[in-house]
Amino acid sequence: MNIDVIVLSAAALLGLYMAANIGANDLANAMGTSVGSGALTLKQAVLVSIIANTLGAGLAGGHVTSTISKGIIDPCLLMDDPNKLMLGMFAALISASLWVHLATHFALPVSTTHAIVGAVVGFGIMSVGGGAVSWGKIITIAVSWVISPAAGAVIAGSIFYLTEKKVMGAKDPYAAALHYGPALIFFVMLVLILSFIFKGLKNLHLEFGFFFTVLLAIPCAALAAVFGRKWLRWQVHLKCELGPNPQGYSPADCFFAQLQVLTACYIAFAHGANDVANAIGPLAAIFSVIKTKSVALHVEVPFWMLFAGGIAVGGGLFAFGARVMETIGKNITEITPIRGFCATFGAATTVLICSRLGLPVSTTHVLVGAVVGVGLMRGMGTLDLRILKNIGLSWIVTLPFTMVLAMVLYKVLTLFLL
């Protein structure tokens, strides 16, 4: 059998394995609050995430990507020996995949982006030296360990405080939900539309100015608010009054459950658009080296790779994601539809604001912080501090673990194959 075919087959399997681990951990974070609150069953969450994630990867994923993403290492330094890049990407994929798989086994939500970055740093040190690594970007990632959860906690906690006070604290929560419903739907749709354009479609490089985008989003969000109230009333009547209601939801809970499903769909789409590249980017780089026998600064990502990656991510959620979803949706603090909505909407808002301000954030860390922020509004005693300590340690360990493992694997691969 041709050696190139063997290498490409191995790379494809590794890329799909990494994609499945991304689904089991990263996407499980996004869907955890929806499942934990009962807004979606596990099967519904898997179905929604596979469809939205695959659409995000296929329609808005990076069809052209940097050879080494995040600018951690200059690929020009590897021009003279493309096989070093190929073996480095193998080492990076294996290292990141094993770490995310291990974290998933222990039900710890970690950043798959940070895992692949740490792995790239590791093989970069071994291949071109530590001086070639952009350590400033590594410091930026370390800063995000604080900024991401703190921002998520503040924004989601504030949304929960206002919503709990104005709606659930009213004499008739359902009447209050209907009263404030149009405003809630307006702000939800405004954030989701802006996030969709700025975050979800960023890989399409559409040149929309900020103010033009806002002017475009406002009437769309207002139109959704006008019709959204009637749709939500119909959904509440259908699910809480006519249909089975095994969770024993109140009508107000049903109202927020529907809003939460909306935010969950967006997060799954944005996840496919942005995070599938963590698995497919290195795979595309390996394919490029095999095909051209050279190092390109940017490589084409075939549609079939993005599509297969999106499906593999959804499959990983179905096969292995239950443990991490339970951590996010149940174990940190008890999640109800209103709390789950505030956490997911708060996370989407945080990512939008921080991205526009140029602040480094991790969606995983933001979402965990948002859940913590909602819990804090109910009191420190509602949080499981032991689980939070373990999550924090896993974030800190991600970079050095994947970096050292990639260094070892790269050394082993080069000894046997170069």
Please report the DSSP string for 347-405 in residue order.
HHHHHHHHHHHT----HHHHHHHHHHHHHHHH-GGGS-HHHHHHHHHHHHHHHHHHHHH
* pLDDT at residue 134 greater than cutoff 80: yes
How far is 162 from 145, CA to CA, in rounded Å?
Answer: 27
Q: Which one is predicted more confidently, 212 or 410? A: 410
pLDDT class of 264 with cuts at 50, 70, 90: confident
Pick the range with the lowest mean pLDDT from 45-59, 89-103, 209-223: 45-59
Number of H helices, E strands in the chain: 15, 2
* Spatial CB neighbours of 4, under 8 Å, sequence gap ≥ 6: 290
Q: What is the pLDDT of residue 204?
A: 62
pLDDT digits (tens, 9 = 90+) for 356-369: 777 767 888 999 99
Q: What is the pLDDT of residue 380?
A: 87
Q: What is the mean pLDDT of residues 194-206?
A: 69
* pLDDT at residue 133 greater than cutoff 90: no
Q: What is the pLDDT of residue 203?
A: 61
* pLDDT at residue 58 greater than cutoff 90: no
pLDDT digits (tens, 9 = 90+) for 78-90: 888 888 888 998 9
Q: In the block, which residue shows the tokens 């499959």?
A: 315
Q: Which one is predicted more confidently, 180 or 203? A: 180
Q: What is the CA radius of gyration of the chain?
A: 22
Burial 57-86, CB ≥16 within 10 A → b, else e: bbbbbbeebbbbbbebbbbebbeeebbbbb
* pLDDT at residue 103 greater than cutoff 90: yes
Tokens of 48: 């929604």
Contact between 290 and 10 under an 8 Å Cβ cutoff? The reply is no
pLDDT digits (tens, 9 = 90+) for 363-401: 889 999 999 999 999 988 899 999 999 999 999 999 999
β-strand pairing of 298-300 with 64-66: antiparallel
pLDDT class of 241 with cuts at 50, 70, 90: low
Percentage of residues of the chain with pLDDT beyond 70:
92
- pTM for the model: 0.88
CA of residue 9 relative to chain centroid, distance? 27
At 144, which amino acid appears? S
pLDDT class of 31 with cuts at 50, 70, 90: confident
* pLDDT at residue 63 greater than cutoff 60: no
Q: What is the mean pLDDT of residues 142-166?
A: 91
Q: What's the mean pLDDT when you consider all of the chain? A: 85
Pick the range with the lowest mean pLDDT from 24-28, 243-247, 306-310: 243-247
Pick the range with the lowest mean pLDDT from 21-25, 55-59, 163-167, 377-381: 55-59
Q: What is the mean pLDDT of residues 264-275?
A: 77
pLDDT class of 205 with cuts at 50, 70, 90: low
pLDDT digits (tens, 9 = 90+) for 306-340: 788 888 888 898 888 988 999 998 899 989 889 99
